[in-house]
Amino acid sequence: MNISGNILLILYYIAVAFLVGTVAQVVTGYNKRRLFTTFVLGFIGVMIGDLVARRFGLPDFHIIGISVLWSIAGAVLFIVLFRLIRGRW
């Protein structure tokens, strides 16, 4: 893959991470809608969702290499666990 293709792929992954983080924040009511926080939540969601889906053999709904459904579920799970551990909602 050439350099421009790699840059487009990275931009795609960043856009998906923002989308996943934004949806997870809306679903959970978590109100820290800063760009970096949204990206980190989305990135962690992608990692958790993919890990859980592969571990338990859940069906894949991939959009260009990322399972968006399980990524959103992973981000929501991460936010809920984080807020429960931290003690404040």
| Confidence band for 4, pLDDT divided at 50, 70 and 90 | low
* Burial class of residue 76 (count of CB atoms within 10 Å of its CB; 0-12, 13-18, 19+): buried
Backbone angles phi, psi at 30, to 5 degrees: -70, 125
Q: Are 43 and 17 in contact (CB under 8 A)?
A: yes
Q: Given this model, what pLDDT does residue 89 score?
A: 52
β-bridge partners, 67: 62
Q: Given this model, what pLDDT does residue 65 score?
A: 66
Q: How far apart are CA 50 and CA 66, in angstroms?
A: 8
For the stretch 16-61, pLDDT in tens is: 888 888 888 888 887 766 778 778 888 888 788 878 887 888 887 7
Our measurement of the distance from residue 74's CA atom to the centroid of its chain's CA atoms, rounded to an integer in Å, reads: 7
